[in-house]
Amino acid sequence: MELYFLGTNAGVPSLERNVTSVALRMLEERRTFWLFDCGEGTQHQILRSPLKLSKLEKIFITHLHGDHLFGLPGLISSRAYQGGEDPLTIYGPVGLKQYIRTCLELSESHISYILDIVEHEGGLLFEDESFRVEASQLEHRVTSYGYRVTEKDLPGKLDTAVLESYGIRPGPLYGKLKRGQSVVAPDGRILHASAVQGKPKKGRIVTILGDTRPCESVLTLARNADVLVHESTFLHELKDTAHTYYHSTSRQAAEAAQQAGAKQLYLTHLSSRYKYEEQLIEMEQEARALFPNSIIAREHVLYDVERTVY
């Protein structure tokens, strides 16, 4: 898994940064990517990226402010022209369906693929054999959600030397053992998966938040996360401004990562007042003073989501 930031600015785009959108690329895990928020211009950012709209599987909208969803109508329409034939599911707060349907109907946009719009009020949104996605409401001027993506643990590597001693070669029996099932060897011996499997690979947790003040839901969503993507609209000297407008500072983001036991913090949703590199460095250093693994998210950079080793 890798994170790819398509927009890191708050409110409006600037010459330096686009408005909010971040991709979770999962080419190895499911040959797709998921998108979190879709500010205006996101599809243009994708054109400049290694991402392909045809591989977009899911979109998660945190809230209905324009800098987080004005890019949706164009992206939805363009996806079909860029080879997108598989179904696309979009999750978000109540009102999202009306917004999308109205835009598509009034513009007479015709979508050739299945578009499923899921309005939610938090809780478990999606689960399959590999991933689980949960949402909780944050504290913002409008209903805003954070998302917690949990990758399930993967089975450990098979010991091929032991398998050969049982006369078992790559094939269907390998698959059963990987799934934790016992098998019967060619000589009639029963072989249990636990005897030939290494330690499982621990699944990763990625938490991506919408706009928010510090609140308990942030800590719940970010608990033991491998990666936390947290808004950092202001430096802490403007903490009162942040509170008034229901946002967070870089220090508050670092406090959340520290308290939740997260492993890596990415700061995004930066006020357009911070235009210069030295200002971004100051914001990063402010967070690192509390939480050393803090990084200002840069657009068009791939960030690996590292796996914890048991």
211 near 269, Cβ under 8 Å? Answer: yes
Q: What is the pLDDT of residue 161?
A: 83
pLDDT of residue 249: 98
Both structure tokens of 42:
């996101």
Q: Is 187 a catalytic residue?
A: no
- Point out the catalytic residue in the list 37, 67, 128, 226: 67
pLDDT at 303: 98
Q: Which residue ranges make up the annotated binding site?
A: 63, 65, 67-68, 140, 211, 269
- For 158-193, the pLDDT digits (tens) are 778 888 887 888 888 887 887 778 888 888 888 887
Domain spans of the chain, in order of start? 2-154+204-304, 160-195
Instruction: List the structure tokens of 167.
Output: 């006369």
If you write DSSP's letter for every residue of 251-279 in order, what string do you get? Answer: HHHHHHHHHHT-S-EEEE-B-TT--SHHH
DSSP for the chain, written as a single string: -EEEEEE-BSSS--SS--BSEEEEEEHHHHSEEEEE---TTHHHHHHTSS--GGGEEEEE-----HHHHTTHHHHHHHHHHTT--S-EEEEESTTHHHHHHHHHHHTT----S-EEEEE--SEEEEE-SSEEEEEEE--SSS--EEEEEEEPPBPPPB-HHHHHHTT--SSHHHHHHHTT--EE-TTS-EE-GGGTB-PPBPPPEEEEE-S--S-HHHHHHHTT-SEEEEE--B-GGGHHHHHHTT--BHHHHHHHHHHHT-S-EEEE-B-TT--SHHHHHHHHHHHHTT-SSEEE--BT-EEE-PPPP-
Gap between the terminal Cα atoms of the chain = 18
pLDDT score for 131 = 97
CA distance 204 to 14: 33
Q: What's the CA gap between 310 and 294, in Å, rounded?
A: 23
Please state which CATH class domain 2-154+204-304 belongs to: alpha beta
> What digits encode the pLDDT tens for the residues 138-160?
999 999 999 999 999 887 787 78
pTM of the model: 0.90
Known binding residues for Zn(2+): 63, 65, 67-68, 140, 211, 269
With a cut of 70, which residues of the chain have pLDDT below it?
A: 309-310
